[in-house]
Amino acid sequence: MQFGVFDIFQVTPDVSADRVYAERLRDAELIDQLGLDYYFVAERHFLPLYRSPAPGIWLGAVAARTRRVRLGVLAYTVPLHNPVLLAEEISVLDHLSRGRAEVGVGLGHRPQELASLGIDPAKRQALFLESLVLMRRAWQGEPFDHPGIAFRFRELYVEPPYQRPHPPLWYAGTDPEAARWAGRNGLSLAVGFRPLVQLQPTCDAWRAGQAESTSGRARLALMRSLYVAESDAQARREMVADLRRLGRLFVPSPAEAATQTHPLGSAPEAEQALDRLLASEAVIAGSPETCAEAIARAARALQLDVFLANPYLSGVEPRRVERTLRLLATAVRPRVEAALGVSPTRG
């Protein structure tokens, strides 16, 4: 098992962009120092409470502050990009990081992002497939033309990346047919934020695709929000307080407030919201023992290679994010490895 972090860069309205970037850079350094294996970020556009519209620029800054952790985007919204320019950008990142780049590709978390730029969401699959062919061709480091369908390019040359033939590729998504395609084409798969029973068909389809592939070994990763405290009771108490604060930050309309059983931000409402989060399996929370048990259970069920934690639940201040990261590396990870009966893996 390998372990890492996945950050969607969601913030609350009281956190400025300069502050979140400074805090996240400190976290990236800590993640590197703790010996976690991966640091992934999302790509999000045109949303006021997200701060990841330029993940390549961000990872360039992270590369300068880290030495060993592998860095990637889960995932680039490929249909938004000129694929050759994206291939160039990734090649630069791979050299800056001395071969630590990982490349997640996807159709896009929100089709609205494409529509906002005048790109027909109905064409995103065709754009995605041709783009991936182009990116792999560009990374060969030889001049080429591309008289394609969506793209027609001439006299192109892209400096090849540090890793040859190219950095490892990931597909992020839960559609079983897409997962089978990813496995068949040698891409690793990242799934998450749904119950294990819903993710099982996707993972099975990916493994079936893998059986048809001649590529090298790919990896299967699970993404979950993670909150670790010294005890289950402490984790619950702190998370309820966070949810109550969020309830006061995001005030509903009078019509919405009139339909609520409890006032927004009240303890009963926060308790119920936390129970719903935990029942959804999108969040793992509690003591190191409780979190390790949940991760090990998921690892067995899905045959995982990698666990990616999002410690940035809304309302959690930096000191508690740091606590979750430290406990993940020093207390949760060893317990998961012991439960699975595997030797500790580092890098």
Q: Which long-range contacts (CB under 8 A, 24 or more apart) does 265-274 make?
A: 267/240, 269/243, 269/244, 270/240, 270/241, 270/243, 270/244, 271/240, 273/243, 274/236, 274/239, 274/240, 274/243
Q: Is residue 345 part of a domain?
A: no
Q: Is 110 exposed, middle or buried (0-12, 13-18, 19+ CB in 10 A)?
A: middle
CATH at residue 79: 3.20.20.30
Q: What is the pLDDT of residues 238-268, one digit of tens each?
A: 999 999 988 877 654 444 444 444 455 788 8
Task: Report the pLDDT value the prediction gives residue 181, as an integer from 0 to 100.
Answer: 96
Task: Report the pLDDT value the prediction gives residue 178, as an integer from 0 to 100.
Answer: 96
Q: What is the pLDDT of residues 123-162, one digit of tens each?
A: 999 999 999 999 999 999 999 999 989 999 999 999 999 9
Query: What are 339's strand-pairing partners?
Result: none
What confidence tier does 188 reach under pLDDT thresholds 50, 70, 90?
A: very high
Does residue 346 surpass a pLDDT of 60? no
Task: Report the pLDDT value the prediction gives residue 119, as an integer from 0 to 100.
Answer: 94
Tokens found for residue 172: 């992020």
Task: Report the pLDDT value the prediction gives residue 253, as an integer from 0 to 100.
Answer: 45
Q: Is residue 272 part of a domain?
A: no
Q: Is residue 154 part of a domain?
A: yes
Distance CA 275, CA 270 (A): 9
Q: Over pLDDT 70: what percentage of the chain?
A: 95
Q: Is 15 exposed, middle or buried (0-12, 13-18, 19+ CB in 10 A)?
A: middle
CB 132 within 8 A of CB 103: no
Q: Is residue 74 part of a domain?
A: yes
Q: Is residue 299 part of a domain?
A: yes
Task: Report the pLDDT value the prediction gives residue 195, as an integer from 0 to 100.
Answer: 96
Q: Is residue 150 part of a domain?
A: yes
Residues 6+ apart with CB under 8 A from 29: 65, 66
Q: Is residue 64 part of a domain?
A: yes
Average pLDDT along the chain? 93
pTM for this one?
0.93
Overall domain count for the chain? 1
Task: Report the pLDDT value the prediction gives residue 345, as an integer from 0 to 100.
Answer: 59
Q: Where in the sequence is the domain holding 186, given as residue range(s)?
A: 2-226+285-340
DSSP label of 328? I
